[in-house]
Amino acid sequence: MTTTIPNKTEVKALNVPHGISPDLINEPYRDGFTYRAVIGAVFLAAVMVPAAIYLSLMLGGGLGAAADWVTVILFLELARRSFQKLSRQEIMVLLHVASSVGTSIAGAGLAGGVFGMLVWQGYLRTSPATEAFGLDKILPNWVAPPADVVAQRTFWHVLWLAPIGVLVASHILNKVQQFVCGYLVFRVTADLERLKFPMAPIGAQGAMALAEHSGRTESWRWNCFSLGAGIGAAFAVFTTLIPSVTGTLLASPLFIVPNPWLDLSPIFQNVFGMKATAIVIIFDLAALLVGMILPWRVLIGTVAGTIIFQLILNPYVLHPMGILHSWRPGSNPAQTAFNNSLDFYLSQTIGCAIAIALGGFISLFWSLYKRRKKAREEAAALATVNDVPVETTDNDSAMTSTGAPVTTTPEGRGDFNIWLMIAIFVVSSLGYVGLCHWLVPDFPVWMFVAYAFLFTPIMTYIHARVVGITGQHVGFPMVREGTFFLSGYEKPDVWFAPIPLHDYGHMASFFRQMELTRTKFTSMLKAELLVLPIMMIASFLFWSYIWSLDPIPSEKYPPVQIHWPVNAKMTALWATAQSSGATYLTDAIKWDVIGIFAAGTLFTMGGFAALGISVEYIYGFIAGSHTGIVQIFFPTLIGAILSRYWLSKKFGQKEWRSYVPVLIAGYVCGAGLIGMLGMAIVFLQRSVSSLPY
């Protein structure tokens, strides 16, 4: 038996991450946490936090992903005028810091830090919707103080200490677990499984383009980034700027482009008899651009899954059989997708997720077994040749020509001790469990333990693995709600407790971006330690001030006034459904469907692996099968076809693959800048109209 032993060049290639720019392969890792990054964090807290708060109130949503690029662009221009140059490592740190500004609060649609959650919880105490369900009287004081205190619209009251304390404690624990879990799944998916993370180069290339612009050494990256920014800005004029401006001049904003979609479902129902099917046109140029970078196999699987399940099975099989029985004529796309989820796709998604988890763990252990076996064989062969005993280690994936083991972590990357990370995860999870048990003592404590040590790691790993393979994000619908119902617990307090049920899989992609830009991982740890207190203080101060100006919701903030009563009613319905004897959620969990799809998906994955067919088709098929709302023209597929059969041939496949991530990053930035301009106009109009003279 002949064993091939890789030489030093081959060994070095093993630690080269997928998607890295060729000119950075030999560049060392550098620290991105500098005094300029500290100034940038203060800039974020002072300027971007109030902007994010106001935009979320006025337009009904946060800055989203655009906040990251818009914030860095603004700070970058200030730095240039101060004759300062920002490295790509510093820009990556700032991008991570900026992501905490635009993150929206689930259920409330608010951005600008965590203290917006307390405004939402205060509204739940006084909302007519919660009063109708009697929830306002039984809401715990650690959620919101009594109604008379909430009516004062200020956090500067002693009875707000309990909600603030719970919020701060849970936020700190969440940040700790986000970092630790994200790092651990990155080590597994990127270092051990060698997944590609196809979407990670977008952020990395964008950071490098901005760094080149900062240093006035503009190359193809900045030109490509500028082109994308121009396209994004032009498109955002119609989707964002015109509605913002006309909303300040007219009674209602003017939408030239249908927002959020153009509903074609009634046409397809009448012409083709496609009932229980949501078909729309979404005017989103970003989807077409993203299709240019997603793996081709994933897109083919996604389109196939969407056509088979959503366009064939839904109207012609599942609805006639009475499975999709909740659909009613005239339902809008969101209602159709929600009803179909309860009738069938919730169980189908759970079954597929179970199969993905089991398949991922089987693949992981099998990969580890083969790596260790190969390492032992190579070491034994080398020992036979050199007549020297060679020891192997658990993380040996190959052996150098001198017999030295090839480690899975590149030198200087700033990695952390795995056992220390696991210990921190255990301690923080126990802290979560203790906090929740103290707040909700009657809820089964073993379920808090299961959330922290079972559900969170599994969901995080599944998400990270899917992102690493396909570049697409997956969700786990109604896990929280389903487990609450299955527990039999009837009190509403657990619905507001900060339970340790989270999915941190997206962090694995961000660690890959840091790797692609040669940024030390310790930079992000330092940034987290700095930003956490700064952002919490800024969020507290600005939310307190803005809340004191006008009631939230009120006619001053039309989107909030429209959506919050509906969201409050839904929250009250969930929180009191168990005590009122509702069973619609338990009826939605169909164990036979879960079992069929779990077994079928696992069997198909095994068959594909045995035949040597890429599992990317399966991941794409699963994602497409439960799309819910069908974009009839499949913009991502159109983008992929343009990229594969025209643009890659026009510019060259290698060159085009380098252009696309930078182009998309520029598009997001350009659209975000126009959104900020629209927000500034709205803010200026509000300020002028509020003056007494």
- Write out pLDDT tens, residues 540-569: 888 887 787 778 877 667 667 766 776 777
The packing angle between helices 242-249 and 653-689, to 10°, is 10
Q: Taking a C-beta distance cutoff of 8 angstroms, is the pair 90, 32 a contact?
A: yes
Express each pLDDT in 68-124 by its tens digit. 666 676 677 667 767 777 777 787 788 777 776 655 554 455 667 788 888 888 888
Cβ neighbours of 674 (radius 10 Å): 24
Q: What is the DSSP secondary-structure string of 340-381? A: HIIIIIHHHHHHHHHHHHHHHHHHHHHHHHHHHHHHHHHHHH
Q: 59-74 burial by CB neighbour count: b if 16+ within 10 A, else e?
A: bbbbbbbbbbbbbbbb
The reported pLDDT for the residue numbered 382 is: 64
Q: What are phi and psi of 197, to 5 degrees?
A: 50, 70
The reported pLDDT for the residue numbered 52 is: 72
Express each pLDDT in 462-519 by its tens digit. 888 877 776 666 666 567 777 887 777 778 888 888 888 888 888 888 888 888 888 8
292: nearest Cα among 540, 631, 656, 571:
656
Q: Taking a C-beta distance cutoff of 8 angstroms, is the pair 86, 207 a contact?
A: no
8-state DSSP, 471: S
Q: Taking a C-beta distance cutoff of 8 angstroms, is the pair 175, 533 a contact?
A: no
Q: Which residues contact 488 (CB under 8 A, 6 or more apart)?
A: 578
What is the band of 312 on the pLDDT scale with cuts at 50, 70, 90?
Answer: very high
The reported pLDDT for the residue numbered 40 is: 78
Residue boundaries of the structural domains of the chain: 158-198+258-380+411-518+587-651, 199-254+664-692
pTM, entire model: 0.67
Q: What is the CA angle 86-670-60, rounded to 5?
A: 110
The region of weakest confidence among 351-355, 469-473, 479-483, 650-654 is: 469-473
What is the band of 460 on the pLDDT scale with cuts at 50, 70, 90?
Answer: confident
Q: Map residue 662 onto helix, strand or coil.
A: helix
Q: Taking a C-beta distance cutoff of 8 angstroms, is the pair 256, 606 a contact?
A: no
The reported pLDDT for the residue numbered 286 is: 77
Is the C-alpha dihedral spanning 347, 352, 355, 360 positive or negative?
negative
8-state DSSP, 32: -
Express each pLDDT in 185-214 by its tens digit. 888 887 777 777 776 776 666 666 666 655
Measured CA distances, 339 to 261, 482, 542, 578, 631 (Å):
19, 16, 39, 20, 18
Average of per-residue pLDDT values in the chain: 77
Share of the chain above pLDDT 70, in %: 75
Measured CA distances, 147 to 30, 119, 125 (Å):
52, 12, 6
* N-term to C-term CA, the chain: 92
